[in-house]
Each structure stands twice: as C-alpha cells, then as structure tokens.
Structure 1
Amino acid sequence: MSRFANRLRARRRPLLLVGAAAVSLLAAGCSGGGAGEAASTAVKGQLSVLSLGPVATWDPQRMSSAQDMAFAGRVFLRTLTAFPAGSDAAAQRAVVGDLATDAGTPDAAAKTWKFTLRSGVNWQDGSPVTCEDVRHGVSRSFAAPWASEGLNYPTAYLDIPRKADGTSVYTGPATTDKAAVAAFDKAVSCEGTTVTFRLSTPMADFNEVVASPSFAPVKESQDKGKDGTYAVFSNGPYQLQKAWDPSSGGTFTRNPKWDKGSDPVRKAQPETIRYVEGTESQTAAQQVLSDDPAHRQSVTLDSAPPAMQQHIQSDSGLRQRSVNPPSQFVDYLAPNFSQGVMRTPAVRKALALSTNRDGYIAALGGSSAATPTTSLIGPALPGHRKDATTPLAPDTGAARAALQSSGLTLPVKIRVSYRSTPTADKAMAALMNGWQDAGFAVTLQPIAKDYFTTIADTKRVSQTDVFWANWAPSWPSAGTVIQPLFDSRLNLTSEGSGRDYGRFADAGVDKEITRITGLADTGAQAEAWSKLDQSLVDRGAYVALAQRRSFFVAGTDVKGLASNEALGGFVDLATIEVTR
C-alpha cells in the first residue's frame, strides 16, 4: 500500500464521525423533557445555552462533534488558527492566526508549515502556552483512546512512517520506541515559540486543518489522560467553574488570565456562560420564545423543529430573535455501482431527472429546513457552483425516455435505503412518487438504528440499489467532501464501503483527487474540485437533494445572535452578548 493510500486510510474514522453527526438533523422535531427543563433564575451577565447533547468529551484530542467544537473553540479552547466571527460568510472562511501570530507560513512545496505563537497567551493558572504544549497536544492524537475517538488529522497528515497495516509507528507520548519518537520529533519540532510541521504530502489548506482541536495545545502537567473526559484547562476567555455534570452541564466563568489583547477572535462579552444539557430541541425553543424572565438570556444550540419554524417566521418579533443558516449538511443519494440496475448509466440518469427535490424539502418542513441543491459542494465552500442552487424541477418525460433507452423492462425495480424517522418517511415518500411516475417500481427500505454502519456493510450491497446519505465538510474545503466520499482507496475494502456507500470506484478519479490535493494554489484547487464534482454529477455518481438549514433562537436579552458557516453553521459565541 502506498504512503498516500495509508494516509487516506488513517483519515477514514474522523471523516466518518463528522458525517455521523449529521444523523441528528433527521431526528429534529422530537419532543419531551430533559435535565434542561428545570426552571432557572436569570443571573446578571450570564448567557445560558440550551442543548440536548450529550457532550461526549471536552478533551480536545477526543472531540469529534462539530457542535461541541464550535462551543469549546469560542469559550475555553484556542487553537493555532481559527475562523473569525462576523456577518460576512466569505470573511468567516478566511482563516486567521489565533494562538499563532498569523495563519502560518508554508514552504514553496506546501509540505512544511511554520506557526509562531503570540505573546501574552496564558493558561488559566497564569503559565504561558508554549510550543511544547502544542507538541504534547498533537502527540496525544497518536495514542489510545484519542487515536480511535478524535479527529486524528495529525496521524493522517504528518510525515511519520507507517506500519504495513497503515497505522503509525508512533503511538503517542508514552512510547519508548526511539525511532518512532525521532520520527515524531522531526515531524513536529519547536524552535523557541515557533512550531514546525512536516507533512507527508503537500497541503495548501493545512492552516485550516490546525484550527481543529486535534492540533490544540495541552499542558503536560495538567493532562488527565484517559480520566480527563470532561476536564477543562482553559487558555480561552472562560474556565469551567466546577466539575462538568454529564447529565446537566456546567457553568463557565471568566478566566482572569485571559488577555483580551492577545485574542483577535473572541470578544467574550457575557460574564458567565451556563451550558444546560439535556434540553429537547422543541422544549428549548419553547422556553426561549416564551420570553419568561428565566430564559430571556438564553440561546438554543440545537435547531428548532420544522413545525415551530413556520410560526417563528410568521411573527416579526420572533423572527428578529432567530437565525436560519445553512447547516453545511447536504442530503444526497448514492446509486449502487457494484451490482444491479444502477450500473446502467441511463438508469442513473432517469433517477436524477425524476428526483423531486421540492417535494422532498416540503416534507422536511419547507425552505427554513432545507434548500434544493444539485451539488455536494455547498455555498460556504470554495469551488461551489452557483448553478447548483438553481431550482431544478423533475422532468418525468425525459426520465422515462432515459429509462426506456436502457434496454430494461419497465417498471424498473429499485430498492432505496434511508434512515427512518417520521419526517424522513414523508420525505422519501415524496421522492418515491416522482420516481414511480418515471417508470420505476420503488421499494423503500427504512432503517431506524445504526443506519450508516448498516449500509456500509458489504452485505448490504446486494440488498439495495440506492442509498440515502448526508455529509458536511470538515473545514471550508471541497476536498473534505469529494475525497472522503468518492476516493475508493479511502473507502472500499472487503469489510465495508466506508462512506462510499454506492461503491463508486474509478482509478482516474482517484488519481485526480491526488493531483488536486497536492495543488499549492488554493484558487486552482477550488476550481479543480468544482470540475471534478461536476463530472461526478454528470456520471450519476450521486444525486444531491438538499442543503440542510438550522434554526436557532435567542431570548430578548440576547444580542448579536449569529451563526458561522466555517464552524458548521452553528451558533457563534465569539460576539454574542447579554444586555442585563
């Protein structure tokens, strides 16, 4: 196996986790109570954030939830670079220095990157954040349990040799293998306040990768190891007041050692931030919108259910206390390329032409819940095609003609798997109607539990013709969409399909992915991803359905409610404030 193939193999797990987070979007709309339902008394200067959770961990090298990373990165966890706040989506994607003085300096080949730490950046005990703290944090990504639970991008991208099975020879800070330690020391080195990373392949956007918590510093003397699931040792504007309660959350108070002058990203305007875990999305929205004194300083971290969104939009007062951003998740269909009728190009064309996106979106809850798209590269990503969001009505006549040209007898039988929820059942039924009008005989296969694990199993290949799925980028790059979903070297094994559920395999596409990934010019890279994406659409490698949207609401004493597309479309706490 080549070094490149090994590197891709190492990427599989974190990329899958990002996609798995999308599961919660189809579950939106459930009701019921949790720990967050308990009445609270408003505290002057305190922002309350309401979330169902659960937060799996606050350990930076174990984090994988985009929502949790968005919260931690604005409250207590600073990284070498960060995505700025603000109302301009393009500006949000322009990565800036956070712990580092700037967004980093690559060499001519984009294989070596240097970042110099700012002065005046301290831990909550007053000690400075050092280059060795960065090295220690990165080293943890190679050890258990961090290597299997977190976004192990250091393992994927750093120039450290691998074993025959694709795993790294370096296994974390506790290893005694001198050769492995030397390999890590070469890949991640310190000279004063400057940390240097040496990569296995060129990466023009590596400065965006280091904005992830897997590259966050960890002070070795404060490293709780496997027991530090919820330990928080802050270098940001807030610190955890008491031990985190996994059932109810915790309160973050001002970190007196945080220097506002050393932080170009966070305004940190609330005096305290109370994280209330265990609040169902419907309950949270109801509490905030009711405008009772206990929740006037609250904001929801989960999207309000579609049924409530229409009510909010119809009320000008409520609408002013809400934001409705793209969530970055795109729903799509993956035809089965390995066997069955979807191997025939005309059948895939007929499927795409008869797909009723408007009906699908109406069933999801309308325009506030999702918008139609024909591409997996969303508007927040460089390389997005403007025509991808142009409304495209189904063409049943052209679809039937394509199906008739396939040589197959109509109706053509197809089996479609999807993750079952009450909302999804209605949305897939809307799609089925259009497909049947075109000449398909459709059998829907709802799967309620372990959906992505189930459809990735090779046993499923002979049982399904079309797979529903969704995906979101790991950072603002189309490469974090195309590569994890369609690179056969990354996904396809005898044990499973990875995220390439339709088992699409093309050596030419794999080769082009390698070429694009190595481009040093980000503009040229974005254009190349766009062209490759269009070719995948033209071949029917996938059928995009909808760009999901979120709906967050805030109390009347909350100002500056905003989302950030570079943070996955979640609420941005960098500039939010409470007025009393």
Structure 2
Amino acid sequence: MGLVVALIAGVAGFALLRGDGGDEELPSQVSARERTDEKGGTLRAMSLGPVTSWDPQRIAARDDAAFAGRTFLRTLTAYQPSTDPRNQARLIGDLAKDAGTPNKELTSWSFTLREGVAWEDGSPVTCEDVKYGVSRTFSTTAITGGSTDALAVLSVPKKPDGASIYAGPFAKVAANDPGVAAYDKAVSCKGATITFNLSSPVSDFNEMVSQPAFAPVKKDKDDAENALTVFSNGPYRLEAPWRASTGGTWVRNEHWKPTTDEVRRAFPDRIEYQEGIETQTVAQQIMADGERARAAVSLGSAPPALQQHIVNVDALKDRSVTAGTGLIDYLAPNVKSPVMQKPQARAALAVATNREAYVTALGGATTGRPATSLIPEVLPAHHDEDPMGAGGRGDAGRAKVLLGEAGLTLPVPIRVAYRSSPVADKAMAALVAGWTEAGFAPTLTPLKDEYFTTISAPAAATSYDVFWSNWAPAWASASTILPALFDSSINITPSGPGRDYGYFADTNVNAEIRRIPTVADRTEREKAWASLDVKLQRQGAYIALAERRSLFIAGSEVRNLSANEAIGGVVEFADIAVQQ
C-alpha cells in the first residue's frame, strides 16, 4: 500500500531548519504579505513530465495525483490544504459530507455524497459514478498502473490463483455472473450513500479512499482506451485534449460550486500546464523572472546547485518553498548474512551511520534531512525517538563495542548494495568513513539496471549483507509503510523477500501488524504504529538515513505558494493564486 519509488513527495517548512548540522537558513513558506484571496489571472505550471495518465484508476505518480486532486478530480475524502504542516494530515470529507462512518468491526464503511457536486457537463456526481469508478480497478488487463488497494480490501472473493472472481465492468459476462453479484454486494448504493464491505477490518479505509483509484467516473464518458482523457468534477476542466509531451490548458468548470467544496479555492482563471522542459531550464527561467515566467511555478525540484543560489539570494528565497518529500532513504540489513544475523552487528551498523554526512553528500539541507525513522514528520505516527542512540553523526566508538559483543573479529567485512547514480555514489561513499572507524570493512556495490528486481531475487541473500532502499507512504498513515516492508507473512516466499529485502521476520511483529488495523481511534492507532516502529529499530530491521527534500520556485506574480506533504509534498494547488 506504499510506493517503492523514485517518486518525490513533501511538505513546505516554516522558519529555520537545520538540516545538515550547519547554520544554513532554508526558504520558508511565503509570508502573509504574499497571500491574496483574489480570483483571476493565468498561472503557468512548468514540468519535465511526462504525465502518463489523468485516468483516476491509472494515476500512479504522487505529483500527478496531487495536481489532479486539487484541480479536476474529487475523491470521497481528502487531506486538508494548510500552510501549517501540523494540520496537513487532517482528513476531511470532499465528495462525501464527512470522513465516513464505519461499523463497529471496521469491516464496512459508508459515505454520503454532498449535494450539488456536478460534472463538467452539468450532470450530478452520483453514488453510482463512484461505484463505477472503483469497479474499473478490477479490469486488471485494461486499467493498469494505479493503486490496486480496492482489489486487496473489498470483500470480493478470489479464485484459487488469487485473481478476483469479478473481472471489472468491461468483461463480457452474463447478467447473473457471480463476480458481478459479488461486487454489487461489496460496493452498494442507497440514494447518495455508498457502502464498502471489506474482507477484514481496515481502520483507515477512509484515508485509503482519498486516492484517485477510488474517484468517480461517469460511465457514458469513460474513455478507457485513452489514459489522458479528462472529464472533470472539480474547479477546472481541460480546454482542449491533452497533448502528450506538451501539456494542456485548464479553464474554469462553470458547473463547479465553491459551496460544495471545502478543499479547493481555485483562484486562477486558467492554468497552463507545460511539460517537456528540463527541470534546470524551468528553474532558470523562473529565477530570471522574465515576462513569461512571472506567473509561473515549477512542479519539479530545482537542481541542488541552483538550490544553493536560491537559498542565498533573498529575492529568490522569498518566492521559493522547501518541502520534505516523505520519501525516506534507508538501509535493510540482511538477516540471512552471517554478519547481520547477529543483533549486535545490526545495532553497530545503525550506531555507526553518519546521517549528516549522507545528507551533506546529497547536496545539503535543501535536498534532505537526517531521519531516524521511516515515518515522515508530517504523519500522525511520527516520533522523535532514536532507540539506537546514534544521533545525526553516529558514534563509532560505541559501535565498535557492539561489534565486540557480537563476537566478530575486526575489521568486519560487509557488502552493501545500492542503486547507483552520481548523487547516490557520493552519498553512500560518505557513510564509509564512519563504518570503517567503527570496525567494519565495507565494500560498496553500485547497481544500476533493475535495482529492486536484483535485490529481491533469492540470489541477493547470499551476495550482500546490507541493501539500500527507499519508501514513501501512499497516504498519511504508517499503515502504508511498516506492513509493506516488514510483514514477513506477505513478503517472504521461496521466490524471494518481496519488499522485505533484509528477510526480517518476527511473528510478534506480524501479529501486531494484524492487530493495529482493528484500532478504531486514529490517535491510538498511529501511536501503536509508532511503538511498533521503535521496536523494529531496536531489532535492527532497518536503519533510516534521510528524508528527501524538494525546493520549488515561483515567479514574482505568484501568491499563496506552499507545498503539502500529506498529498505528496508537491506544490499546493488548492489555493495558489496569481497577482492581478
């Protein structure tokens, strides 16, 4: 339910952030004097792209999902736009009047749609539209690329091979097909209320349905053969068909009513979305603030070299925003390795890891911040505990003591696999000094092609002692992080470790992963995830390195610039505006 990615997510920060041990001041969110509530104008959104899909059930990239969800695509629930990161993970009703109602067992959820929500042709968005949209996920040969959570959680029986007995709305089946009947039972409409019946308790199902895959689709407007067709129920519609590698222009959907929408302010009259421009070129054009760039905003993070210039020039810093991406780099010790099977050795590696050096090598405080947990700061389950006591710089002396307690002869050889890139090569090399001082003898193995396929193959278990990886949550809960990475019952098979690259397995951990989704109260549930995360760290299941950061820049006529970590850390389009 999470994403193994190179996808970038994040949140705008406030005030000063000390990311790499230095005194560098990072850009803050725009100040109050740069805000406006005036509608009008044309905003230019500039991106490398390409957008591969605007089809709700096919959208995979978090930045595309975030843009779609603030402009033309409404979901049952949504995360609140806010310039205060503490409020960005607050879930509210979007298409639905509220955040949903579960039964006592958390195996059934109901949502009642708002009145007055309309498609771009003026027809109402109905319960049946939501039901039809969700049904498209089951067409696994026609609709691909998006979230498959509906397949995983809805109470639709599966065949012996694991496939659903329901083949989706495009399958040519008899009227009495058992698959259709099963789906109708799992997802039902009664007036404006849609009810989802689940195969097991899911306490944060109302957060799951904030994803585009649970968005409505109007059946008679479904262009399943064209993933870039848009039929809007939000404040904007496409003026003309989307042009791949070029983009498109979004204009007001005259049938959108602000009174039905608690999420979107929709200030600009038009949004010209231009893709196919190199990220560095985008940043340079907006930095120059020429006539065409004054009302422009970058959708991709400025390159690290330009970030330092932006940070150090007040005029540029004032129209930029930094965003913690929610994407965490981490190490997975291979517990099948003769070295890393020893808990003290895993602890020693964690204690010897210099996260600040790693962040500095990434490019500094604008590109990352040291992390001790896989749970990003904006999530309710985030905690500040450092159970291994490593701090930002590590403690080589204590790590060496731990290696001695493990009964290992120094230096201890370890083979570390990571996904190679110019930046990654530098970042991983920056960890070597601390590990060496602690008594390890590390050998870094850069891998380029099919990295995650390589490390999830059974042969990797005997080839490497430590694996680099990364992860970002699919929505604002640790339920999309810890189960996906450390539930051995769903990951480890004879064909490999799945996403549990280090072969970590603990029956008590698995049992807790099963228990927590039955906790109804969100606060208590996320506290339980936090406690489990601390336990995983103490057992050496993983070693967090850094949360990636992005820096976005806008032209001098752009107002209300911010980013929202809970929806991916990209530019927040819910209330961005242009000076008139």
**How far, CA to CA, are the matches of 1:489 and 1:76 in structure 2?**
39
Amino acid in structure 2 at the alignment position of 1:385:
H
Report Cα offsets for 1:35-64 as digits up to 9, x if no partner: xxxxxxxxx811111111111111100111
Q: How does 1:111-150 map to 2 (within 5 A)?
A: 111-145=107-141, 148-150=144-146
Question: Is residue 2:80 matched to residue 1:84?
Answer: yes
1:344 equivalent in structure 2 = 342
Instruction: State the Cα distance separating 1:306 from its structure 2 match.
Output: 1.5
* TM value normalised by structure 1: 0.91
1:358 equivalent in structure 2 = 356
Q: Contact 2:107/2:197 (CA < 8 Å) preserved in 1?
A: yes
Q: 1:68 aligns with which of 43, 50, 64?
A: 64
Q: Contact 1:364/1:423 (CA < 8 Å) preserved in 2?
A: yes
1:500 equivalent in structure 2 = 500
2:19 equivalent in structure 1 = none
Q: Contact 2:337/2:464 (CA < 8 Å) preserved in 1?
A: no
1:40 equivalent in structure 2 = none
Q: Contact 2:8/2:62 (CA < 8 Å) preserved in 1?
A: no
2:13 equivalent in structure 1 = none
Q: 2:166 aligns with which of 152, 170, 191?
A: 170
1:425 equivalent in structure 2 = 425
Aligned length: 546
Report Cα offsets for 1:181-226 as digits up to 9, x if no partner: 111111100011111111112222111111101110000101112x
Amino acid in structure 2 at the alignment position of 1:533:
D
Question: Is residue 2:569 matched to residue 1:572?
Answer: no
2:21 equivalent in structure 1 = none
Q: How does 1:379-528 map to 2 (within 5 A)?
A: 379-388=377-386, 391-528=391-528
Instruction: State the Cα distance separating 1:78 from its structure 2 match.
Output: 0.6
Question: Is residue 2:107 matched to residue 1:106?
Answer: no
**How far, CA to CA, are the matches of 1:339 and 1:415 in structure 2?**
10
Question: Is residue 2:218 matched to residue 1:219?
Answer: yes
1:151 equivalent in structure 2 = 147
Amino acid in structure 2 at the alignment position of 1:405:
E
Instruction: State the Cα distance separating 1:391 from its structure 2 match.
Output: 4.3
**How far, CA to CA, are the matches of 1:451 and 1:242 in structure 2?**
39
Q: Which moved more, 1:433-442 or 1:488-497?
A: 488-497
**How far, CA to CA, are the matches of 1:439 and 1:279 in structure 2?**
47
1:293 equivalent in structure 2 = 291
**How far, CA to CA, are the matches of 2:416 and 2:83 in structure 1?**
40
Change (3 A) 1:106 1:23: closer
2:27 equivalent in structure 1 = none
Report Cα offsets for 1:240-288 as digits up to 9, x if no partner: 1112111111111111111121111111111111111112221111111
1:562 equivalent in structure 2 = 562
1:323 equivalent in structure 2 = 321
Q: Secondary structure at the match of 2:63?
A: helix
Change (3 A) 1:24 1:54: farther
Q: Secondary structure at the match of 2:273?
A: strand
Report Cα offsets for 1:367-409 as digits up to 9, x if no partner: 1111111111121111211235994331111111211222222
Change (3 A) 1:551 1:252: same
1:5 equivalent in structure 2 = none
Q: Contact 2:372/2:543 (CA < 8 Å) preserved in 1?
A: yes
**How far, CA to CA, are the matches of 1:506 and 1:398 in structure 2?**
26
Amino acid in structure 2 at the alignment position of 1:446:
P
Q: Secondary structure at the match of 1:550?
A: strand
**How far, CA to CA, are the matches of 1:534 and 1:327 in structure 2?**
22
1:284 equivalent in structure 2 = 282
Q: Which moved more, 1:61-70 or 1:387-396?
A: 387-396
Q: Secondary structure at the match of 2:530?
A: helix
**How far, CA to CA, are the matches of 2:495 and 2:456 in structure 1?**
9
* TM value normalised by structure 2: 0.91
Q: 1:234 aligns with which of 225, 228, 232?
A: 232
Instruction: State the Cα distance separating 1:464 from its structure 2 match.
Output: 1.1
Q: Contact 1:418/1:446 (CA < 8 Å) preserved in 2?
A: yes
Of Structure 1 and Structure 2, the greater helix share is in 1
Report Cα offsets for 1:123-160 as digits up to 9, x if no partner: 11111111111110010001123664210111111111
Instruction: State the Cα distance separating 1:496 from its structure 2 match.
Output: 2.9
Q: Secondary structure at the match of 1:102?
A: coil
Amino acid in structure 2 at the alignment position of 1:367:
A
Q: Secondary structure at the match of 1:293?
A: coil
Q: Contact 2:94/2:261 (CA < 8 Å) preserved in 1?
A: yes
**How far, CA to CA, are the matches of 1:522 and 1:174 in structure 2?**
37
Instruction: State the Cα distance separating 1:565 from its structure 2 match.
Output: 1.4
Change (3 A) 1:126 1:24: closer
Amino acid in structure 2 at the alignment position of 1:426:
K
Q: Secondary structure at the match of 1:302?
A: coil
Question: Is residue 2:366 matched to residue 1:333?
Answer: no
1:179 equivalent in structure 2 = 178
**How far, CA to CA, are the matches of 2:51 and 2:439 in structure 1?**
46
- Show structure 1 runs of 5+ residues with no match: 1-10, 26-43
Amino acid in structure 1 at the alignment position of 2:551:
F
Report Cα offsets for 1:39-93 as digits up to 9, x if no partner: xxxxx81111111111111110011110000000011111111112111223221
1:8 equivalent in structure 2 = none
Q: How does 1:529-544 map to 2 (within 5 A)?
A: 529-544=529-544
2:51 equivalent in structure 1 = 55
1:191 equivalent in structure 2 = 190
Q: Which moved more, 1:169-178 or 1:481-490?
A: 169-178
Q: Which moved more, 1:491-500 or 1:304-313?
A: 491-500
Amino acid in structure 2 at the alignment position of 1:553:
I
**How far, CA to CA, are the matches of 2:244 and 2:362 in structure 1?**
31
Report Cα offsets for 1:472-531 as digits up to 9, x if no partner: 111110111111110112222222322111111122211110011221121221111111
Q: Secondary structure at the match of 2:57?
A: coil
**How far, CA to CA, are the matches of 2:407 and 2:140 in structure 1?**
53
Q: Secondary structure at the match of 2:462?
A: coil
Instruction: State the Cα distance separating 1:310 from its structure 2 match.
Output: 1.5
**How far, CA to CA, are the matches of 2:280 and 2:574 in structure 1?**
25
**How far, CA to CA, are the matches of 1:23 and 1:120 in structure 2?**
35
Change (3 A) 1:241 1:61: same
2:14 equivalent in structure 1 = none
Q: Contact 2:127/2:194 (CA < 8 Å) preserved in 1?
A: yes
Counting aligned pairs with the same residue, the percent is 51
